[in-house]
Amino acid sequence: MTHALQWLRSLVFVVQMYLAMAVLGIVFLPWALVSPRGARIACKTFCRWVRFTAAWMVGLRTEVRGTPPRGEVLIASKHQSFLDIILIFGSIPAGKFIMKRELMWAPVIGQYALRIGCVPVNRGKRSQAIGKMVEDVARGRQEPGQLIIYAQGTRVAPGVKKPYKIGAGVLYEELGQTCVPAATNVGVFWPRKGILRKPGLAVVEFLPEIAPGLPRGTFMRRLESEVEEASDKLMREAGFDTGER
């Protein structure tokens, strides 16, 4: 009975969340069309709304730990569900995601993503995608912001091991920017698929900066080690068995 009630509450939450996305997308559209700032404010308003409604509708509280970066940096994060997108973007001034090209055609999300400076890439052709990613990012550096890449290239469920893609290392090397790793446990409560949202405390944690200039291989090993270790710690804190003792 308790599980069924939580699922029903989750369904109501998910429905109202997407309705809110549509309403905000329409309301802010005139401003978003003439100014990226309008698009960013629309997206941040949506992030605040999701966090607020998640807390009282399904008992899912959220927290951002560490120091959210303010300058022009590369953020390389763990990705477990839509919620870590919301927490990261809502906590930084001008986030821009490396996103899969298919999302360009998603209603509301695609249009607003392009307006805030997100960089669509074709992941089907790896070498071409990386080159295009670097080129597009370099062209967009006139407008400062925090470039966010999901280092494993996709959502990864808690407890699943997946290698880190070279794209994060290429961007770190080519852009010459400081990298801020980010860990999370959001997938414990908000899975990558399905309706059920579990009560608890979902966390995104910004980790200590990695200064520019490291060899690509050294950077990738350090990034994976620090993000995975911190994410496992957050998941254990949330009651998830990571298999480590």
Tell me the CB-side half-sphere exposure of residue 173, using CA atoms within 13 A: 15
CATH of region 63-237, choose from 3.30.70, 3.40.50, 1.20.1630, 1.10.490: 3.40.50
Contact 145, 171 (CB under 8 A): no
- Residues 19, 31: Cα–Cα separation, whole Å: 20
For helices 82-91 and 36-58, the axis angle rounded to 10 degrees is 120
Contacts of 224 (CB under 8 A, 6+ apart): 151, 164
CA distances from 84 to 80, 143, 182, 218, 243 (A): 7, 24, 10, 26, 23
Domain ranges in the chain are 63-237
Kindly compute the dihedral angle of the four CA atoms of residues 176, 97, 203, 172, in this order, to the nearest 10 degrees: -20
Look at residue 207 in the predicted model and tell me its pLDDT. 98
> What percentage of the chain carries pLDDT values higher than 90?
73
Segment 169-195, tens digit of pLDDT: 989 998 899 999 999 999 999 998 899
The amino acid at 106: A
pTM score of the predicted model: 0.92
pLDDT (tens place) for every residue of the chain, 245 residues total = 688 999 999 999 999 999 999 999 999 999 999 999 999 999 999 999 999 999 999 999 999 999 999 989 999 999 999 999 999 999 999 999 988 888 778 888 888 998 998 888 876 655 566 666 667 666 655 466 899 999 998 999 999 999 999 989 989 998 899 999 999 999 999 998 899 999 999 999 999 999 999 999 999 999 999 999 999 999 999 999 887 65
Residue with the two structure tokens 């990864």 = 156
The DSSP bridge partners found for residue 63 are: 203
